[in-house]
Structure 1
């Protein structure tokens, strides 16, 4: 019995190491300083696929999160328009929405609720701000509480406990948007140009690819034509990887007051 247990642990350990060894940094830009101590880096990752990541790292002690909701498609603007409307550091597209532009899952923007909390396996997590503190919770951990000012429900989960999430789709490579945290105050939002959910999960759970933080949890946002990332450099100039679709809501990073 002890021999079987040893073999099982060895196989699990080897498999995890092997998955991490599949992905390596093939190239990257120099880190770019943003406001509030945030930084941007573009990282090229090589493995079973060639993937470009664009990432914005920030610290919750210096930054706040805000959900920007656009109730009407007819008056909805782009991510860039939304980010230029205030003193935002960075932002990306966030939750899913239906063909009639209704949000899929619960959304709270500046205390205003739309949609409803869903228990679908697709919507496996929530990013929320409660009493000024950002959190990334899994669906089964979430409970209704007073003090939640911002929230978006999305999914699927990509990384849990620093490890890839099992059972993710492995063949459809497309643009992706995601959010990461070490659950101790360090965060990142990012996009990738082309990866399956399985590949993105493995990439985000590879420690050597993210020296800036220990990725404890990661959640997938809406992707494909909705994928967009905007940030403002410390010198005031901006960079914008524009989405192609009209998007219902965005997640924005702004300096903490």
Structure 2
């Protein structure tokens, strides 16, 4: 098939399955993570219990875990959220298609404060879109769809909807991950997503109206993409814009800040991850 048709097929499969390499459809029932989620006091709330509220884990880093009712009948879906002040932390993208690793292995090697999985990738672990790691660009940008989480060398962090603001190679990026779809467009507008209602584990990044970066993970197969988009826009997280990262077996979240230890591992190896590190300058 042509290169264009091949990429369209790859993207369609990735979106439908909510995961990268070796993807298979996930069941619609709630599926727990394979590793324990540990959140010592004051954030020791177990999945499905009451909202912990925002808890300061360190300067510039807040955490919150809560349960969302009504997504799956008779069950509350757990959500784990991290809120970051971009002026006080640094984003770091790691990309190693030749040596993909489970999220916990990435964490053990680099010791970040926070870590999540990156965007979609092919069966041979190549990113399906642009990735910028420490100023070095890999892959080609999505055109007309999807979004990009990006950071400049001076520490500015943003999410842009590529449909409305296409990637400009003249803009120097320090770190970036492109993924799809946009869940919430700038101004808090809920995206209309044709996702057939399939539920999967989910990872998303967002910017709130105060300019803070949010990392949001649901470690059970509770949300369809449309349901997640609708919940994000209607929640009290004050979301201005949000972007879906790879989900399903790729989803994961590690937090090691202050007294907080969250460990939600990916089910598959990952060629790319987003790490949050202390800002040193």
Take 1:220 and 1:155, find their aligned partners in 2: how far apart are those partners? Answer: 6
Question: Post-superposition shift, 1:35?
Answer: 3.4
Tell me whether 1:197 sits opposite 2:222 in the alignment.
no
Establish whether residue 225 from structure 1 lines up as the match of residue 249 from structure 2. Answer: yes
Partner in structure 1 of residue 199 of structure 2: 173
Shift of 1:78: 2.3
Is 2:239 the partner of 1:215? yes
Q: Which has the higher helix share?
A: 1
- Residue 130 to residue 233, structure 1, CA distance change in 2 (3 Å): closer
Q: Does 1:126 align with 2:168?
A: no
What's the CA shift string for 1:89-120, capped at 9, x where partnerless? 10100111001111100111011221111226
Aligned-residue offset at 1:87: 4.9
Q: Which runs of 5+ in 2 are unaligned?
A: 1-47
Secondary structure of the equivalent of 1:81? Answer: helix
- Show structure 1 runs of 5+ residues with no match: 1-24
Residue 61 (structure 2) aligned to one of 35, 38, 42: 38
TM-score for both structures, normalised by structure 1:
0.80
Q: Given that residues 157 and 218 in structure 1 are in contact (C-alpha distance below 8 angstroms), is that contact kept between their aligned partners in structure 2?
A: yes
Rounded to whole Å, the distance in 2 between the matches of 1:78 and 1:120 is: 31
Larger Rg computed on CA atoms? 1
Q: Which residue of 2 aligns with 1:106?
A: 130
Contact 1:182 1:217 in 2 (8 A): yes
Q: Secondary structure at the match of 1:203?
A: helix
Once residues 56 and 83 of structure 1 are traced to their aligned partners in structure 2, the CA distance between those partners, rounded to angstroms, is 17
Which region of structure 1 is more displaced relative to structure 2, 33-42 or 246-255? 33-42
TM-score (norm 2): 0.74
Deviations 1:52-79 (A, max 9, x none): 111111111111211111121xx33222
Deviation sequence 1:118-150 (CA, Å, 0-9, x none): 2263xx101111232111011131211243111
Matches within 5 A, 1:1-257: 27-29=50-52, 31-49=54-72, 50-72=76-98, 75-119=99-143, 121=145, 124-131=146-153, 132-140=155-163, 141=165, 142-160=167-185, 161-182=187-208, 184-192=210-218, 193=220, 194-208=222-236, 210=237, 214-235=238-259, 238-257=261-280
